[in-house]
Structure 1
Amino acid sequence: MPDHPSWLIPHWPDLPAGVGALSTTRQGGVSPAPYDDGAGGGGLNLGVHVNDTRAHVLENRARLRAVLPAEPAWLTQVHGTVVADAAAVSAAQAAGADNYAGAFEADASIATTRGAVCVVMTADCLPVLFCDRAGTVVAAAHAGWRGLAGGVVGRTVAAMRAAGADEILAWLGPAIGPSQFEVGADVLDAFLAGAADAQGRQRVHSAFVARPGQPGKYLADIYALARHMLRADGVERVAGGEYCTVTDASRFYSYRRDRVTGRQASLVWLK
């Protein structure tokens, strides 16, 4: 797939030839401010739930659809851990379910057949794309801190293994960077509660930096936390994690930066 200003092609060295993946940016669409491209042009907002005009979102999704093998299996994301079958979502959409809003309430999806495109939308939360080394199973997970601490990564990995995946690979897409993600002690406590042992708790602690003079406040590295969670689930080959949606306003929507804003998408499929 050629480079294009409207999307990023993941730098994913181990990606099998039979797997396609991309992550959109805020550029290349028709949405006006505050969903625009940050430079006075139309934005590629793909989210229905942010009060953008329906016609704008449909046009933006049509532009994305033009470079995909099928309509993405849009989800209604709730910061949970449910993993949907992308083929079932696609079938529901084809049967008349509301393709605009998302046919299933879930925060991850898995696909084992061509013609099903896994997709998650984000605007600071972490999108994680998965495939197995054989290129037979793919998945996408929406991993905000609640979902990540709650186990959405582990649920997705388990679903892939149940579907016959061999060695699993992951790519971490654009999310809030470690210099911008200020959190409270409740977030640290949520991850510590899920740590299996002392080594796990040490790894969790290493992803949090206390804010001087601000008791109970930390800067959290969501990329490091995701790598820890993936490692705990046996996923060692992890690429990505080099972006910051908050500071890169020319390319990404950011809820923490702008509050009212659009959503970009990360997608993976079997070619």
Structure 2
Amino acid sequence: MLNEDWLRPAWSASHVDAFMTTRAGGVSGGPQASEEQRGLASLNLGRSVGDEPANVVENRRRVEAAVGGHPVFLKQVHGTTVLRLRAEHALPDAAPEAADASISTDPALACAVMVADCLPVLFAGPGVVGAAHAGWRGLAGGVLENTVAAMCDAAHCVPRDISAWMGACIGPDQFEVGADVLAAFGAEPLHQDQPMFRFQRNEQGEARWRADLYGLARRRLEALGIGAVSGGGWCTLSEPSRFFSFRHERVDGLRSGRMAAVIRLR
């Protein structure tokens, strides 16, 4: 059973199970937790954020039960590598591989990416699924393009056969970036609004921009010729009671947990 608060793609891909978790539905941050650990309540899926290991194991077990297959978590490094899942990735002693996206043609293996402000994108194609962790570095570097290419190669399909869904990330009114991010996407920092970047100055008078991750991702997916693109519209930083947010750590001083976007073939 999926928790009623989790996000579900509104697409016609009936041959897959897919969702994105929120803070709801787990066991972290209970009455015995330290003050810092209470910030991880309740469905934290990250192992390196100060949570009790037993909590993370149980939280991941609940996600596995909900998706109906084994979710393979990655060692995410803000890169563009795509891992094709194989049976050995689900072994109990398997170490997470360094990658920021995965694809699967096996119903027993679910693709999973963890986020806490970065954009998760789920993909459903004929006989293949995929998941990508698209922070600004990976997005600019081509992680979405690499994921689609790997799916097409594995399933002998074309991009128009694939549907994409964008989960929750930091929204365009909150994602403050500098000129380095504009440069990564080929935009010139001319101290004015640009496509997907809205100019403003911060309290120190420095030039900053608000970046639209959803818009940047949608533009790239549409350029690939993806058959249908949906999702987006949430803001993890603006809804701390529902979503984990890495940037919100600066607001409340507590460690942020991790959510996951998960997909598998039925």
Q: Same fold (TM over 0.5)?
A: yes
- One-letter code aligned to 2:166: L
- One-letter code aligned to 1:119: A
Distance 1:219 1:60 in 2: 33
Distance 2:163 2:139 in 1: 17
C-alpha distance 35-206 of structure 1, shift in aligned 2 (>3 A): farther
Contact 2:7 2:167 (8 Å CA) reproduced = no
Residue 173 of structure 1 corresponds to 167
Contact 1:128 1:141 (8 Å CA) reproduced = yes
Residue 263 of structure 1 corresponds to 258
Residue 107 of structure 2 corresponds to 114
- One-letter code aligned to 1:22: F
Shifted more, 107-116 versus 233-242: the winner is 233-242
Give the CA deviation at 1:46.
0.2
Residue by residue, what CA displacement relative to the aligned partner does 1:128-150 show, whole Å, maximum 9, x if unpaired?
00112xx3111000000000001
Distance 1:16 1:10 in 2: 9
Give the CA deviation at 1:116.
1.1
Contact 1:81 1:107 (8 Å CA) reproduced = yes
Give the CA deviation at 1:248.
1.0
Aligned-pair identity (%): 47
Residue 127 of structure 2 corresponds to 136
Residue by residue, what CA displacement relative to the aligned partner does 1:14-47 show, whole Å, maximum 9, x if unpaired?
x321111010011121111545478xxx410001
C-alpha distance 182-112 of structure 1, shift in aligned 2 (>3 A): same
Residue 93 of structure 1 corresponds to 90
Residue 17 of structure 1 corresponds to 14
C-alpha distance 208-236 of structure 1, shift in aligned 2 (>3 A): farther
Q: Where do 5+ consecutive residues of structure 2 fail to align? A: 30-34
Q: Does the alignment pair 1:29 with 2:26?
A: yes
Distance 1:206 1:65 in 2: 39
User: 3-state DSSP class of the match of 1:162?
Assistant: helix
Contact 2:18 2:67 (8 Å CA) reproduced = no
Match of 2:217 among 226, 244, 251: 226
Residue 210 of structure 1 corresponds to 199
Contact 1:128 1:170 (8 Å CA) reproduced = yes
Contact 1:3 1:9 (8 Å CA) reproduced = no
Match of 2:182 among 185, 188, 191: 188
- One-letter code aligned to 1:231: E
- One-letter code aligned to 2:194: H
- One-letter code aligned to 2:133: H
Distance 2:93 2:83 in 1: 18
How does the TM-score come out when normalised to structure 2?
0.87
What is the aligned-residue RMSD (CA, Å)? 2.1
Distance 1:92 1:222 in 2: 30
Residue by residue, what CA displacement relative to the aligned partner does 1:35-88 show, whole Å, maximum 9, x if unpaired?
5478xxx410001121212111111111222222222011010000000012x2
Distance 2:65 2:39 in 1: 20
Q: After TM superposition, what 4+ stretches of structure 1 lie above 4 angstroms from structure 2?
A: 33-38, 212-215
Residue 127 of structure 1 corresponds to 120
